[in-house]
Chains A and B, each alone.
Chain A
Amino acid sequence: MKSETERLQEELNKNLFDSLVEFLQTSHSGLWKNSKDWSCEIKLREIPTAALVLGVNVTDHDLTLRSLTEVLQNNVTPYVVSLQAKDCPDMKHFLQKLVSQLMDCKVDVQSKEKESVQVIQKNVHYSMDSLSAWYMSVTQKTDPKMPRKKRTSSSQWQSPPVVLILKDMESFTTKVLQDFIIISSQHLHEFPLILIFGIATSPVVIHRLLPHAVSSLLCIELFQSLSCKEHLTTVLDKLLLTTQFPFKLSEKVLQILTNIFLYHDFSIQNFIKGLQLSLLEHFYSQPLSVLCCNLPEAKRRIRFLSANQCENIRRLPSFRRYVEKQSSEKQVALLTSDKFLKEETQSLLENLHVYHKNYFLVLRCLHQFTSSLPKYPLGRQIRELYCMCLEKNIWDSEEYASVLQLLRLLAKDELMAMLQNCFKLFQSSSGKELGNTAKKIEEFLAQFQSLDAETKEEEDTSQSQSKGLQKTDLYHLQKSLLEMKELRSTSKRQTKFEVLREQVVSFVDSLVREYLLPPDTQPLHETLYFSSAHTLRQHLNAAPRIALHTALNNPYYYLKNEALRSEEGCIPNVAPDICIAYKLHLECSRLINLVDWSEAFATVVTAAEKMDANSVTSEERNEIIHARFIRAVSELELLGFIKPTKQKTDHVARLTWGGC
């Protein structure tokens, strides 16, 4: 089973990353087409530069830039070098890295050139001159070969440019950057260079880092990468809101993951890590997670379930609830016969699958309706809506009621646009169940359109009416106009639209009530949903300080000994030495006198010892207690609560304040 879970895990991981990388690539290839055109017009002495604003999620940059490098290498030029600030403390290292990476690129592309490259590599003098000389030699060598080789990538250019990616522009030393830019601008005519800056904060930083004299040598174009929130939405969309992957997260888990993302780091990688972890936990802790795979596979596996696993199924709370609803005969059969149970499970799993399919369709549909409402009562993003739906019956919530209220006030064209979108959604899916709904929406649309036509007709008629009235006098005209106004406000046409709108709203409502049942109402949902948010939080967002504090303050929490049980804020004097020493040190201010401390400690400890009626002589006991005190203090020092100080002899300084 373990190997199986591992396999599944790997598979899913791969999918996760694939989708991410694919997404990134698509987002960047667009950018690159632009930049190619633009960098054709290299002006003399101006280095074309792309500034890529990547946002604060630093950890994801690596992935983004790596895929960018790949794309570049495949499409634009073989010479792509990416440098990191920590590799380049000064000019020499900078060039050294640059050259060695360039050589490596070259070797990859043309292994024939190896010998000549090696000769150059022995050259320890890395300078811009040698670099451009090398470049000339390489390009000249390749140029004659070019027609024969027909390399699509480099044939676009007479000489392929060298692309240099500076991954974290902010952390480069300004001096190095300035020097490099000045030098390379001198060599630009023989060494076509393109710079790419990865920027985490804002484009202003370029001007702050580089003085005008230097930045005027650059021809900067700005690219904004997608915001991390959008990333999150896509990831969620592709991974959770599909039936493709059977694994699902419960409301609390999802909440924690998104919270970590939004409030802690904005890192997609971390989010995916959390997802991986929850997947792993699920497979590890839930014995029935073997059924968490695509439907045919799950059906196959059900056939091979052992008696023990069947017992596990019977123990699932959701399954029990299901059994209780059945007739008594069926109950007996379900509880006694494994075979019958397996069949039932198969059908239940199938139901669950269908349920998910419908669930996501209706969810998206509802999202269509709610996402553009003023004040976003059900959230702007689909993940918020999803969370709410997972949590409870959404139609019981106040927000949902207000949504319906708002929907009843919508104008016609808005409503129609929404319906159009929903219709497209339903059509794109091939579900049979929801075929009816698609049809119904189509009907609604048709009705709206016919309404349109009618209104036009009526307008025509009213126009003609008003024409007919022209000959009457002013008084009559006014009167009739007033009448018409009244007529219009209560007219058949208006009510027709309202009736229709009412119909649509109630239709949506019924859809929601039918399909957006929270998953814990479904039998066997435990196999697919991971719900122990607690473990997830523990492992991802740990709080070592709090753990230390509780361990020191309330040893009973860990050591379940009755002797340690005590009220808040107190510890019994039999507690471990370090707890007592810690408690005593809390009483002190900035400095602690070791003698006083040790005496206080001895007092407390002897109080505890007296209980056991110790027979050891008092001198020896004192020695032992002193030794215990020394140990406790050195442990506290190791933990970072105190440190030795020279301010006063035999004193230590306190380093912590507050409860934890």
Chain B
Amino acid sequence: MAKLASELAKTPRKSVSLNMKNDPKITIDIPQCSKGHSSSDKSQLKNNDKSEFLSTAPRGLRKRLIVPRSHSDSESEYSASNSEDDEGVAQEYEEDTNEDILSQKIQAQNREVSAPVFRETPSKKMKREKTSHLVEKYFEAHSSSKVLTSDRTLQKLKRAKLDQQTLHNLLSKVSPSFSAELKQLNQQHEQLFHKWMLQLHLGFNIVLYGLGSKRDLLERFRTTMLQDCIHIVINGFFPGISVKSVLNSVTEVLDHVGTFRSVLDQLEWITNKFKEDSSLELFLLIHNLDSQMLRGDKSQQIIGQLSSLRNIYLIASIDHLNAPLMWDHAKQSLYNWLWYETTTYSHYTEETSYENSLLVKQSGSLPLSSLIHVLRSLTPNARGIFRLLIKYQLDNQDNPSYTGLCFQDFYQQCREAFLVNSDLTLRAQLTEFRDHKLIRTKKGTDGVEYLLIPVDNGILTDFLENEEEEL
């Protein structure tokens, strides 16, 4: 892929070779070709960064044997990794990062990023052919159980760990591009505000779709149009949101005291309330109606019923690619949607900040910091115990049948290191660890307890390094 990127950022002569790549017969040429390039470029370089290629070299050799030549779909991919492996083999001594090569290459770049696989054919006749081709691509990609990608992991990248805060700080340094155009785009959308109001009043509900966060837009709509009306803003992207809380906020607005037996009861109460009092009006703004928490069938049904009330005006935004699949005919008629395309290109800052599973990088940073945090609050002895366990686990990391450290052995080791004096103190320590979810115990087949740290080995290594630095 790295090579592809270089092609994307690079010269047209490369894209010619890319075209040829669609022919499976010449697949074999490509590594050579790229090798030639990189080596020719190489002579210009002084490299400054020791890289991970050293470690990938033997794997690359192995991998080349595995690679099936006729696998035309993923060929771009494996050829990419191949080429990189080739480089690794051929230029082991030169110790280059791919990246550096590439960034050097770019000096002669042109500005086009080409996407050879998805180059669209302008003629309509080709279109059908293209779609069938795409279908084939899907099955091709899913037919082979083995997916060829390089085995590099983020662990080996130095700057893999970023938490939310630093990420934010870093991003704030980037100056946004195309601000004039974005502004114009937003203004176009803002002109629709009056129309939206009219349509909402006439019983339609509005759904916004398109790339980019629609949060600011809705916020502006709220501040300009809804100042004098009762309105509720619901942040669907918030992970703690549920239909219950949506309904609760509605009943709160209606000054209801007391609780409801079920969500349906609550809905019924709201419905009756709105039917009785026709002067009651409520604007419901839902950011990300398609979020994890709200996309369930029941939630959508209830929100739909809410929105079908005459006096509740719903304006919502959806982002997910398959969001419209949430609604069947019945729900769609409940919602009575009018679709508006509002592509803003603005970043999903708020929306993505709550997702915790987003990138492995971020989630990787969290256990480490929490690990350090918890262990700091412990006694030096407890820390020692834990370090022992870590070391043992790391020593055994290449052993696939490793099930954990047997309690008796562990006790023995701890005693030898003068960390505990009795069975009971160790057990007390372990309970503490278990409470913080730092260790897991498993009963083996022989009835003996085995101890395991359920954290990635890489993080453990980092942790040990950290500890040593501190000492």
Contacts and interface: CB of A to CB of B under 8 A. Distances in A.
Interface of A: 2, 6, 9, 57-59, 86-87, 265, 267, 269-270, 273, 276-277, 280, 284, 538-542, 544-545, 547-548, 551-553, 555, 558-561, 564, 566-576, 578, 580, 583-584, 586-604, 606-608, 610-611, 622-624, 626-628, 630-631, 633-635, 637-641, 644, 647-651, 655-659
Interface string B315-347: 000111111100001101100101111010101
A570 B112 contact: yes
Contact of A635 (B2, B119, B150, B352): B352
Given A583-B113, A658-B137, A551 B210 contact: yes
20 contacts: A265-B329, A539-B339, A541-B339, A548-B321, A552-B211, A555-B345, A559-B182, A559-B185, A570-B114, A571-B115, A575-B113, A578-B211, A596-B150, A600-B4, A603-B99, A603-B102, A607-B106, A631-B167, A640-B320, A650-B153
A648 B134 contact: no
Interface string B98-121: 110011001101011111111110
A545 B209 CA distance: 9
Contacts of A265: 329
A589 B73 contact: yes
Question: Which of A57, A589, A604, A656 has the most chain B CB within a 10 Å cutoff?
Answer: A589
Contacts of B339: 538-542, 544
Interface in B107-158: 107, 109, 111-120, 122, 130-131, 134-135, 137-138, 141-142, 147-157
A271 B185 CA distance: 31
Contacts of A280: 198-199, 202
A607 B166 CA distance: 24
B82 to A, nearest CB: 12
A599 B5 contact: yes
Interface of B: 1-2, 4-6, 8-10, 73-74, 76-77, 80-81, 98-99, 102-103, 106-107, 109, 111-120, 122, 130-131, 134-135, 137-138, 141-142, 147-157, 159, 162, 166-167, 170-171, 173-174, 177-178, 180-182, 184-185, 195, 198-199, 201-202, 204, 209-212, 264, 301, 318-324, 329-330, 332-333, 336, 338-341, 343, 345, 347-348, 351-352, 355, 357-362
A269 B102 CA distance: 59
A595 B157 contact: yes
Contacts of A545: 321-322
A607 B358 contact: no
Contacts of B10: 607
B274 to A, nearest CB: 18
A562 to B, nearest CB: 10
A553 B118 CA distance: 10
B120 A569 contact: yes
Contacts of B330: 58-59
B360 A594 contact: yes
A594 B141 CA distance: 18
A631 B117 contact: no
Question: Which of A6, A284, A564, A599 has the most chain B CB within a 10 Å cutoff?
Answer: A599
Contact of B177 (A574, A594, A607): A574
Contact of A602 (B99, B166, B182, B202): B99
B338 to A, nearest CB: 5
A474 B437 CA distance: 120
Contacts of B134: 657-659
Contacts of B147: 589-591, 647-648
A630 B162 contact: yes
B326 to A, nearest CB: 12
Contacts of A578: 211
A310 B204 CA distance: 33
Contacts of A599: 1-2, 5, 98-99, 102
A560 B162 contact: no
Contacts of A633: 358-359
Contacts of A608: 111
Contacts of B109: 573, 607, 610
Contact of B319 (A542, A570, A639, A644): A639
B170 A576 contact: no
Given A626-B159, A639-B211, 20 more contacts: A57-B329, A86-B301, A267-B329, A277-B204, A544-B210, A548-B209, A548-B321, A568-B119, A569-B118, A570-B112, A588-B77, A600-B5, A604-B113, A628-B171, A630-B359, A630-B361, A631-B167, A633-B358, A634-B352, A655-B321
A14 to B, nearest CB: 12
Given A559-B185, A583-B8, A628-B171, A544 B318 contact: yes
Contact of B178 (A561, A594, A601, A623): A561
Given A568-B120, A574-B177, A590 B141 contact: yes
Given A631-B167, A638-B352, A595 B4 contact: no
B141 A589 contact: yes
A548 B122 contact: no
Contacts of A589: 73-74, 77, 141, 147-148
A628 B174 contact: yes
Contact of B115 (A273, A284, A586, A600): A586
Contacts of A86: 301
Given A578-B211, A590-B147, A594-B154, A572 B112 contact: yes
A584 B5 contact: yes
B321 A542 contact: no
A564 B336 CA distance: 37
A544 B99 contact: no
A222 B201 CA distance: 41
A64 to B, nearest CB: 13
A576 B198 contact: no
Contacts of A649: 153, 155, 360
Contacts of A587: 1, 4, 76-77, 115, 117
A586 B137 CA distance: 12
A547 B343 contact: yes
Contacts of B148: 589
Nearest to A551: B211
A470 B361 CA distance: 113
B362 A596 contact: no
B154 A604 contact: no
A596 B150 CA distance: 8
Contact of A58 (B76, B329, B343): B329
Contacts of B264: 87
Nearest to B75: A589
Given A569-B119, A586-B118, A596-B2, A544 B137 contact: no
Question: Which of B6, B9, B348, B355 has the most chain A CB within a 10 Å cutoff?
Answer: B9
Nearest 6 CB-CB pairings of A with B: A600-B5, A542-B339, A551-B211, A569-B119, A627-B170, A59-B333
A584 B212 contact: no
A603 B9 contact: yes
Contact of B171 (A540, A607, A631): A631
Nearest to A273: B336
Nearest to A86: B301
A555 B362 CA distance: 29
Contacts of B1: 584, 587-588, 592-593, 596-597, 599-600
Contact of B343 (A87, A267, A551): A551
B209 A284 contact: no
B103 to A, nearest CB: 5
A625 to B, nearest CB: 9
Question: Which of A539, A593, A628, A633 has the most chain B CB within a 10 Å cutoff?
Answer: A593
Contacts of A659: 118, 120, 130-131, 134
Contact of A566 (B112, B184, B357): B112
A168 to B, nearest CB: 9
Contacts of B184: 560
Question: Which of A270, A569, A592, A610 has the most chain B CB within a 10 Å cutoff?
Answer: A569
B26 to A, nearest CB: 18
Contacts of B80: 596
A553 B114 CA distance: 11
Nearest to A657: B138
